[in-house]
């Protein structure tokens, strides 16, 4: 028995099956990401002064990834239009471009952006020990300028064993510029371009530290939100890429030869999902990278 309305539309609704299915799925996705975005906004609004990191993400890299995703939306819709015009060769090339865009996005995220965070260290200093590390925090300077206090010392952890070995009593950190030269007016604002740690090594005693981790989800509510939302988004991108690869392989050409409209409908549904994933990123990017 043939399943009805996989290609032609149902007369009373004007829709074919998969179109209804994908929009129901996307509605559930809106609720999923909507909940996460709400959590992020409330966590941020409720964060005490100095406890919400800012300017830790590389804006040019994020902007490039955003442009890649926008480009991929253009190529996927052109692939679908090519199928509608029965130009399989053009469809094949546009689909390949879409797949490449998705792969580049994921590669940048997994090979560059995330590992850079995993390699960065931050230590929140106990309130009673803040004065001891004034040379790295510059809170008198910050207070004079009406800026929020600096509670964290960040940089490259020289002795990584200190994270796990209780016998090591201090962290040795190659300081980020903001902690190496905290009274420099140029450090009063967050930097949105990547600035590597300096060669200035600072010892931080463990007993003065409230908590210390690499930039992992355990570091702060900020990184917990960042990794959760960008990780979930990345999984969606991966899912989309896998579907596109299937639609790009020769197996889809057989469907095209048998019923080109059926393949066009499949590409449209996958394209709707892809646009939704890209639209999510349009909100993720300014929330995490810019604001």
Interatomic CA distance for residues 274 and 102, integer angstroms: 10
The residue (of 23 and 112) whose beta carbon lies closer to another protein is 23
Query: Does residue 24 touch another protein according to CB under 8 A?
Result: no
E-assigned strands of 186-267?
Answer: 201-205, 209-214
Please report whether residue 67 would count as binding another protein according to CB under 8 A.
yes
Give me the least distance between CB of 30 and another protein, in Å please.
Answer: 13
By CB under 8 A, is residue 196 in contact with another protein? no
Shortest separation between residue 290's beta carbon and another protein, angstroms: 5
Count of residues in contact with another protein, rule CB under 8 A: 28
Distance, CA of 80 to CA of 218 (rounded, Å)? 42
Contact indicator for 290, 246 with CB cutoff of 8 Å: no
Can you tell me the distance from the alpha carbon of 129 to that of 200, in angstroms, rounded to the nearest whole number?
A: 20
Tell whether residue 278 is a contact of another protein (CB under 8 A).
Answer: yes
Indicate the residue among 166 and 185 with the shorter CB distance to another protein.
185
Percent helix, strand, coil in the chain, to 5, is: 65, 10, 25
Residue 131 or 286: which CB sits closer to another protein? 286
Residue of 58, 65, 73, 225 that binds another protein (CB under 8 A): 73
Tell me how far apart the alpha carbons of residues 78 and 83 are, in angstroms, rounded to a whole number. 9
d(CA 236, CA 249): 20
Give the nearer residue to another protein in terms of CB position, either 152 or 278: 278
The tokens describing 225, both together, are 């939100």
Query: Applying CB under 8 A, does 41 fall inside the site for another protein?
Result: no
The rounded distance, in Å, linking the Cα atoms of 44 and 251 is 48
Q: According to the binding rule CB under 8 A, does residue 81 interact with another protein?
A: yes
- Interface with another protein (CB under 8 A): 19, 23, 63, 66-67, 70, 73-74, 77, 80-81, 84-85, 186, 189, 192-193, 268, 271-272, 275-276, 278-279, 282, 285-286, 290
């Amino acid at each position: 028995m043939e399943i009805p309305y996989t290609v032609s539309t149902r007369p009373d609704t004007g829709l074919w099956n998969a179109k209804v299915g994908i929009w129901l799925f996307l509605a559930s996705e809106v609720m999923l990401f909507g909940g996460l975005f709400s959590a992020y906004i409330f966590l941020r609004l409720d964060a005490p002064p100095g406890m919400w990191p800012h300017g830790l993400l590389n804006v040019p890299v994020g902007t490039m990834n955003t442009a890649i995703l926008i480009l991929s939306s253009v190529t996927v819709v052109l692939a679908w239009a090519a199928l509608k015009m029965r130009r399989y060769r053009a469809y094949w090339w546009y689909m390949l471009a879409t797949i490449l865009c998705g792969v580049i996005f994921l590669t940048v995220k997994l090979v560059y952006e995330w590992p850079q965070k995993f390699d960065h260290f931050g230590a929140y200093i106990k309130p009673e020990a803040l004065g001891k590390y004034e040379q790295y925090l510059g809170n008198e300077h910050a207070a004079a300028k009406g800026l929020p206090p600096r509670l964290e010392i960040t940089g490259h952890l020289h002795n990584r064993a200190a994270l796990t070995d209780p016998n090591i009593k201090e962290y040795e950190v190659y300081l980020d510029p903001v902690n190496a030269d905290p009274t420099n007016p140029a450090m009063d604002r967050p930097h949105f371009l990547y600035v590597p740690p300096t060669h200035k090594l600072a010892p931080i005693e463990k007993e003065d530290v409230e908590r210390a981790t690499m930039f992992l989800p355990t570091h702060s509510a900020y990184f917990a939100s960042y990794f959760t939302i960008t990780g979930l988004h990345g999984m969606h991108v991966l899912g989309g890429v896998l579907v596109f690869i299937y639609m790009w392989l020769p197996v889809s050409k057989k469907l095209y030869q048998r019923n080109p409209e059926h393949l066009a409908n499949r590409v449209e549904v996958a394209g709707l999902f892809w646009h939704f994933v890209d639209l999510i990123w349009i909100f993720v990017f300014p929330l995490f990278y810019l604001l």
